Structure 1
Amino acid sequence: MNLMTKDLLINFLLILLPIFLLQMVYLVKYVYRLDALKGWFLAIFPILSLVLCMLFPVVIEEHFVWDLRWIPFLLGGLYGGYRLGFLLIAITLIIRYLSGGENGFYISCITFPLIGILISFLSKYYLQMSVFKKNIVSILLIFIVQVLTQFIATQIFGINIGISLWKQYFIIQVVGIVIVIILWEVILANFQILEKLAKAEKLQIVSHLAASISHEVRNPLTVTRGYIQMLQEEVSSQTKVKYANIALRELDRATEVINDYLTFAATTPENKEHLRVSDEIQHAVNIIKPLANMNGINIKLSLLEDDAYYIIGERKKFQQCLFNILKNGIESMQVNGELYIHLIHHAPTLQIKIQDKGVGMTKEQISRLGEPYFTTEEKGTGLGMMVSYSIIKSMNGTISVSSVKGKGTCFCIKLPIHKNESDRLKN
């Protein structure tokens, strides 16, 4: 392998580099859901490849320069259309002029516009072709470029270059453009698959939400309908009151499910205020205490004097978040269990640790917490934890979970500390 072939292979590696960078961009777009990235960034590949090839060329003689610029030029015009094709023509001629060599520049001024016009007409048909046909068309274009360049160089400018060099150049370009097309098609196919996966995830979440809500709402409504029908029968007044109370309780249960869904749909705090965390914890404990007593659970509190430590959020939603987590802890334990609640100042955050001695969870279950329709309870919907995660996130906080199967679970809520308005005035 002579020096020219080695240099052309290095040129080919410079073409591959932007392709892999483009693949990384696709992955970043999918992982971080960057919808702002549109089709314009597809031009990164041909433009960067073209510039790199021309900045690191293979010099054959003093006034004539060879490189693999035709590969990104052809594919950029075929995939990107006439606008990108004309932009590539301008970039090519500017760089070629600055590189020096009058004969080579004049040859470029003739060949690139001619081929550019040709591929601008082919581009709309090229995208609809199969991969095999795309390769055939690209090889034919390389052949046309080779013949046209050789004809102009020899017949117009009198530049005679050995046939062996033309053969090496042609073979490397053919092999290179075939490999690049295959890689490009694979990247496009992968990205289409990623987009379908993202849509499938969204549809799955919607279907899970719809299934859970319809299931949980249908049951109490069915019970309510049955008791209302029974009210039409000839029964005592005391029995009618009993039926009416049951129907009302079932309607309340349906309302709670709908409220959970609405809370998840709009978790951004509407009425932000400074909250004293220990007061909110105490309030949530007072609400949950009847359920704890009914299940034989003892709640133990360890709260710091946090007069100077406040968080910002909506009171009702934060209380609902605490209630959901406490309720899950109570229901995970048997009679005579203990639920520990610790409030810790760990600058610049306040940490709420809720530790139960229940059944615990596996790592897989922990990783799925907060997903709709995922729950460890037999009759749960998963909406409660999903709402809790969303509320804490809207308050710029985080929830971390540690658990050991059979020994219990610990929820750690971290929330940023804010000074109270009165403290700010004093300062």
Structure 2
Amino acid sequence: MSFFTKDLLINFLFILLPLFLVQMYYLLKYAKQIDWLKNWTIAIFPILSILLCMLFPVDAVIVPDRYNIDLRRIPYILGTLYGGAGFGTFLLVLILTIRFLIGGVGFYVTLISLPILSIPLFIIAKKYLAMSLQQRIIASTLISLVGALLAMGVSIFVFDIALPTFLWIEFVCLDVIGTLVITVLWEAIRTNLSILKRLVKAEKLEVVSHLAASISHEVRNPLTASRGFMQMLGEDEQNPIKKRYLSIAIDELDRAKDIIDDYLLFANSAPERPEQVDVGVEIQHVLQIMKPLANMNGVVLPPPSLLHGQAKVCGERKKLQQCFINLVKNSIEAMPNGGKLEVKLKKSGETVTVEIHDTGCGMTSEQISRLGEPYFTTKEKGTGLGTMVSFRIIHYMQGKVHVKSEKGKGTCFSIELPLCTKTAPKID
């Protein structure tokens, strides 16, 4: 094995090392529930790879003095594709700064080739995460090939860097193959992370499910009886202080009953008698129910102009209503100082999508990732059970929930449900 190959393989190990650290990071953050590890810290790993690759390039005996050959483009390309154009700009400035400090003709090669490569890279980065797995692997590999050929072309034709042909071929092949391998490994890590998140959430939901199943309907009977007697006492009570205390006690009993109802609904959120439900009709019914709450909060509701008759899904009417009530109620309560609620209904192929968009306080990416967990809520007096129940109902209807939010600008819940066909989908 030549020194050239050995040094490039050492560069490749410098890229693999941070990947293993990423895997450990995810295990600590989600499996061990270490909250002080923030999502932005993941950006350290491509930066670390770039620094190591540039500080330990191919031995200067093999290539012209201060013309460094390394695999810095691999973490740069993948960091930009997965982190976005903003993070890619930071990595570009970092590489150019380090290369300027090293000096030599290699800086000018980088100054010309890397910004040119960044133009298509930034464009692709905007849609990269929306691509399929196969498309992502192909895109990153092709960009790496273009980047290696571009650097080689600038070196040979602009600066007349004389290297043996087989070394250029070896460099291009290792760069492209390295990008392919790292992309596959990174996708495997992302898949493992997704599975890990679901497992952690499933464990929590299983505990809550067992607890909900153990709560008997008898618990509500003494609450109902106590509420009735308190209400009777409140009607006859003349002392305003005692009357206020009784009113507070009744409100708290109602609150306890609502929590129990949410638990019981969570334990049995699968449709008992699936039927065809018109989504447009149910949403309008929910908006009518939530109109008083919206008026109290100064929230403007959308006009009744949703699609009817052509957007039918298979499920249980009452539970679908409960799902929409919880989500609309959350959106209204996220706008305590007033705002505008938008509800849109869209049909596409075999699915119908309901978008509920508010102009409230919004959420961080970490808060979005925890939505649907028991007892997680962004409200001061919330329990998180309403959102958990809604997500559970959508899951049993074989639907999907997508959440987009920006702190201070609002949140959009997008609920995607399969339309009813002649053969109703199996609900498990």
Query: Which protein has the larger Cα radius of gyration, Structure 1 or Structure 2?
Result: 1
Query: What is the TM-score normalised by the length of structure 1?
Result: 0.50
TM-score (norm 2): 0.50
